[in-house]
Amino acid sequence: MTNITETCRDLNELTAAAQLACRLLFQECYKAGIVDIFITETFRSQARQDYLWEQGRTRPGSKVTWVTTSNHTSRRAWDIAVAPPKDLYNISTLSKVGAIAKKLGITWGGYWPASNYDAPHFEIQTTWKAPAGFKLEGTVIVPSNSKLKVQLIVNDKGQAVVGVNDGKLYRVQSGTFTTQAQANAAKQALGKYKIANADYVRIAQDGNKWRFITGTYATQAVANNAITEMKRLGILSYAESIQA
Ligand SMILES: [Zn+2]
């Protein structure tokens, strides 16, 4: 974090326990059919927390925070929002996520009293552990923008790619690969087909596996070409064709 006006959406900036809690929350949301939520902020520096506190007090604007210390600065909190066409803070959706959080021992700001009510906010205590009966069942895609859907990839045989109609754009979304070489090959295969937004193309080490997330394609044909190419290269174990 270099700029106090910028929000950080990187889950990896949270504590290991908070990352697990957040992934479990998104996994259980996925299983409950809630896939249109995404992260809007994770870690917040104290300098940024102070900056937000000043808003509506010593700086113009509406108040956006009620605390000078936050579990965002302790790396144990994250905020979410709801993707279009719903409202950004659609309370029906946030309430369902809040109820799931409660089952997981995660604190939801929507249960707080009016004085510090914070419906997009979730956090864990330092002592949090996953409750009995809950564990990660696969790779959980935790979106950090409104175009990506929550996904749980359980058919994880080393390679997995699913095509998703993403509003007006077409997305090829992958699961995990057993080696970095496979992930790189997938990235190259997609690169041949003009990825519309290269910012989303990244390879991340996810435990001892390699995760690959692509950007969006302008047309369904181009996205399907990318899937075909990956199949030809033998770096897919399954793929769904994209629905128009
Ligand atoms: Zn928050």
- pLDDT score, position 167: 53
Paired with 222 in beta bridges are none
- pLDDT score, position 151: 80
Ranges of residues in the chain whose predicted pLDDT is under 70: 1-2, 153-180, 182-244
- pLDDT score, position 5: 87
Ligand 1 center from residue 92 Cα (angstroms): 18
- pLDDT score, position 242: 44
Ligand 1 center from residue 122 Cα (angstroms): 6
**Helices 16-31 + 91-103 axis angle, to 10:** 120
Q: What is the DSSP letter of 194?
A: -
173's CB contacts (< 8 A; 6+ apart) are 141, 148, 149, 151, 161, 162, 163, 164, 213, 214
Q: pLDDT, tens digit, for every residue of 175-186?
A: 566 666 766 666
End-to-end CA distance of the chain: 39
Ligand 1 center from residue 67 Cα (angstroms): 10
Paired with 166 in beta bridges are 169
- pLDDT score, position 69: 86
Neighbours of 181 (CB within 10 A): 11
As a whole number of angstroms, the distance between CA 94 and CA 154 comes to 25
- pLDDT score, position 200: 41
